[in-house]
């Protein structure tokens, strides 16, 4: 076949390259995708001829349509995209996830899908990915992905999602290690601040250890915190422990919450915090 005639026809395809060289379309495809299937000499000749004809290789979109796969996986979270590069936990989590993806030659797509913005779920609908991972706090996106038939996994325990599709640390064991560490340091009076959304209208909720076992009605999003609390109590053994629940027990929140700050500033404050 005349090379100039082929080029003048417009977009060059694998079939055109194969026709000019007198080889099969599979041979041209292997030169780009499976070089181990060809001799080095034949592969070089195919690539050189393809370059002269203006053919740069298989179309990625066409390949995805043909195979039904993109080899790309989405990580979805409930914050702005910049959160993925600034939050210490998320940065470390993404580093570990990317190491596994890299080992398998796969890519990652980051999706910001705030749970408070239903319209943002369109990002999941439009994503060309083979699966989706949900970071803490974005269950609507995970549910949407499942509706689309995508394989999903969630990074924490959640009763309103199927629990066989989550991966998380052993919260109870982690809490036990923390409690045991404080106990080894000699602390015997400890107050535990638990990050559980408040269960009442008061500034804080205080429990004694014996009350924790009675809290069977905790909502699904509090189960991991409850596991950590049980672990901490186990690690602290016979220490005197009090549990205080608040929305987000950070120093800024504690300073801004009259009930909590006055409780901490008592004449007999706890010497140890967890």
Rg (CA), the chain: 29
Tens digits of per-residue pLDDT, 143-182?
A: 888 888 888 888 766 655 555 577 778 888 999 999 999 9
Strand 205-207 to strand 189-195: parallel, antiparallel, or no bridges (unpaired)?
unpaired
| Cβ neighbours around 133 below 10 Å, total | 23
The token pair at 252 is 């800024």
Tell whether the torsion through CA atoms of 272, 193, 170 and 97 is positive or negative.
Answer: negative
What integer pLDDT is reported at residue 252 of this predicted model?
46
Helices (H), the chain: 3-8, 14-21, 25-33, 40-53, 60-67, 88-103, 122-126, 139-147, 171-184, 209-212, 223-236, 251-256, 258-264
Q: Kindly list the strands in the beta sheet with 72-77, ordered across the sheet, starting from the edge strand earlier in the chain.
A: 107-112, 72-77, 131-134, 152-154
pTM value > 0.85: no
Residues 6+ apart with CB under 8 A from 260: 203, 204, 244, 246, 249, 253, 254
Tens digits of per-residue pLDDT, 81-132?
A: 888 899 898 899 899 999 999 999 899 999 988 877 888 888 888 888 999 9
What integer pLDDT is reported at residue 184 of this predicted model?
94
């Amino acid at each position: 076949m005349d090379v100039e005639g082929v080029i003048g026809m417009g977009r060059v395809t694998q079939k055109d390259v194969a026709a000019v060289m007198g080889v099969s379309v599979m041979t041209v495809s292997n030169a780009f995708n499976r070089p181990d299937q060809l001799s080095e000499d034949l592969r070089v000749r195919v690539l050189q001829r393809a370059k002269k004809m203006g053919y740069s290789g298989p179309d990625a979109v066409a390949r995805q349509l043909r195979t039904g796969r993109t080899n790309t996986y989405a990580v979805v979270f409930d914050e702005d995209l910049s959160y993925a590069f600034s939050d210490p936990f998320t940065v470390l989590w993404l580093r570990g996830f990317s190491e596994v993806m890299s080992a398998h030659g796969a890519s990652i797509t980051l999706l910001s899908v705030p749970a408070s913005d239903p319209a943002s779920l369109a990002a999941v609908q439009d994503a060309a990915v083979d699966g989706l991972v949900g970071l803490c706090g974005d269950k609507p996106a995970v549910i949407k992905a499942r509706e689309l038939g995508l394989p999903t996994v969630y990074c924490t325990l959640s009763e309103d999602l199927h629990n066989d599709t989550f991966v998380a640390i052993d919260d109870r064991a982690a809490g036990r290690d923390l409690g045991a560490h404080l106990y080894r340091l000699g602390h015997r009076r400890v107050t535990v601040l638990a990050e559980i959304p408040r269960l009442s209208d008061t500034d804080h909720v205080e429990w004694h250890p014996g009350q924790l076992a009675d809290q069977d009605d905790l909502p699904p999003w509090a189960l991991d915190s409850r596991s950590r609390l049980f672990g901490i109590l186990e690690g602290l053994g016979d220490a005197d422990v009090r549990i205080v629940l608040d929305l987000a027990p950070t120093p800024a929140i504690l300073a801004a919450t009259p009930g909590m700050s006055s409780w901490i500033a008592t004449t007999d404050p706890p010497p140890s915090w967890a």
